[in-house]
Amino acid sequence: MDLSTLRHSTSHVMAQAVKQLWPGAKLGIGPSIEDGFYYDFDKPEPFEPEDLAIIEDKMRDIIKANHKFERQEMKKEEALKLFTKMGETYKAGLIKEIPEEKVTIYKSGDFVDLCRGPHIESTGKVRAFKLLSIAGAYWHGIETNPMLQRIYGTAFETEEELANYLLLIEEAKKRDHRVLGKQLEYFSFNEEVGPGLVLYHPKGAMLRYLIEDYIRKQHLKRGYELVVGPHIMKSDIWIQSGHYEYYKENMYIFKIEGQEYAIKPMNCPGHILVYKSKTRSYRDLPIRYFELGTVYRNEKSGVLHGLLRVRGFTQDDAHIFCLRTQVEEEIIRVIDFVIDTLNVFGFDDFAVEISTRPVKSIGNDEDWDAAHHALSNALKKKYIRYSVNEGEGAFYGPKIDIKLRDALKREWQCATIQCDFALPERFDLKYIGEDGKEYRPIMLHRVILGSVERFTGALIEHFGGALPLWLSPTQVAIIPVSEKVMSYAKKVERMLVESGIRASLDSRNERLQKKIRDAEVEKIPYMVVVGEKEAAEQSLSIRSKAQGEMGRLMTDEFIQMLQKEVKEKVK
Residue 445 contacts Zn ion per CB under 5 A = yes
Site for Zn ion in 303-342 (CB under 5 A): none
Taking the chain, what is the end-to-end CA distance rounded to the nearest angstrom? 49
Beta strands in 169-215 (DSSP E): 187-188, 199-200
- Residue from 19, 297, 357, 462 carrying the catalytic annotation: 297
**In this chain, which residue has its C-beta nearest to Zn ion?**
115
Q: Give the residue among 108, 141, 116 at the shortest CA–CA distance from 28.
A: 141
Interface with Zn ion (CB under 5 A), residue total 3
Rg (CA), the chain: 29
Active site residue 399: yes
Is residue 297 flagged as an active site residue?
yes
Residue 478 in the binding site for Zn ion (CB under 5 A): no
117 or 202: whose CB is closer to Zn ion? 117
Residue 318 Cβ vs Zn ion, minimum distance, rounded to whole Å: 8
Which among 374-382, 443-451, 532-540, 559-567 is the span making contact with Zn ion, rule CB under 5 A?
A: 443-451
Closest CA to 73 of 106, 120, 121, 27: 106
Other Cβ atoms less than 10 A from the Cβ of 455: the count is 29
Site string for Zn ion, 522-541 (x = CB under 5 A): --------------------
Min separation Cβ 115 and Zn ion, Å: 3
Least separation, in Å, of the C-beta of 319 and Zn ion?
6
User: Residue 177 belongs to what H/E stretch?
Assistant: helix 177-183
Residue closer to Zn ion, measured from CB, 120 or 540: 120
Longest Cα–Cα distance of the chain, Å, equals 93
Cα(240)–Cα(269) distance, integer angstroms: 9
Decide: is 443 part of the binding site for Zn ion (CB under 5 A). no
By CB under 5 A, which span of 52-60, 186-194, 260-268, 396-404 interacts with Zn ion? 260-268
Q: How many CB atoms lie within 10 A of CB 417?
A: 25
Nearer to Zn ion, 397 or 473 (CB): 397
Q: 106, 128, 120: which is closest to 56 by C-alpha?
A: 128
Nearest 5°: CA angle at 271, between 269 and 276?
90
> Which is nearer to Zn ion, 203 or 271 (by Cβ)?
271
Q: Is 6 in the site for Zn ion (CB under 5 A)?
A: no
Q: What is the DSSP string of 316-355?
A: EEEEEEE-GGGHHHHHHHHHHHHHHHHHHTT---EEEEEE
- Cβ at position 419, least distance to Zn ion in Å: 11
124 vs 60: CA distance, rounded Å: 9
145-153, 265-273, 302-310, 404-412 -> range binding Zn ion (CB under 5 A): 265-273
446 touches Zn ion by CB under 5 A: no
268 contacts Zn ion (rule: CB under 5 A): yes
Task: List the interface residues with Zn ion, window 361-420 (CB under 5 A).
Answer: none
The smaller minimum CB distance to Zn ion, of residues 27 and 378, is found at 27
219 labelled catalytic = no
Least separation in angstroms between residue 117's CB and Zn ion is: 6
Our finding on whether 515 is near Zn ion (CB under 5 A) is: no
Q: Please say whether the beta carbons of 408 and 464 come within 8 A.
A: no
* The 387-389 sheet, strands edge to edge: 225-226, 287-296, 312-322, 442-451, 411-420, 399-405, 350-355, 387-389
Nearest-approach distance from CB 404 to Zn ion, in angstroms? 21
Per-residue burial over 74-93, b if 16 or more Cβ lie within 10 Å, else e, is: beeeebbebbeeeebebbbe
- d(Cα 15, Cα 39) in Å, to the nearest integer? 7
When binding is defined by CB under 5 A, the residue of 115, 310, 422, 458 that contacts Zn ion is 115
Residue 351 exposed, middle or buried by CB count within 10 Å (0-12, 13-18, 19+): middle
Catalytic pick from 40, 113, 316, 317? 317
| Least Å from the CB of residue 272 to Zn ion | 9
Q: Give me the residues paired with residue 445 across strands.
A: 319, 418
Q: Binding string, 210-249, against Zn ion, x = CB under 5 A?
A: ----------------------------------------
* Marked catalytic residue, from 58, 115, 218, 268: 268
Per-residue contact string for residues 75-114; x = within reach of Zn ion by CB under 5 A: ----------------------------------------
Distances (CA, A) of 83 to 46, 78, 87: 23, 9, 6
Distance, in Å, from the CA atom of 419 to the CA atom of 195, rounded to the nearest integer, reads: 32
Interface with Zn ion by CB under 5 A: which range of 162-170, 184-192, 325-333, 442-450? 442-450
Give least dist CB 142 to Zn ion, A. 23
* Nearest residue (CB) to Zn ion, 115 versus 327: 115
What 3-state class would DSSP assign to 85? helix
- Closer to Zn ion by Cβ: residue 445 or 543: 445
**To the nearest whole angstrom, how small is the minimum distance from the Cβ of residue 106 to Zn ion?**
5
Q: What is the 3-state secondary structure (H, E, C) of 465-530?
A: CCCCHHHCCCCEEEEECCHHHHHHHHHHHHHHHHCCCCEEECCCCCCHHHHHHHHHHCCCCEEEEE
Distance CA 270, CA 256 (A): 20
Kindly list the catalytic residues. Answer: 268, 297, 315, 317, 319, 399, 445
Contact footprint for Zn ion (CB under 5 A): 115, 268, 445
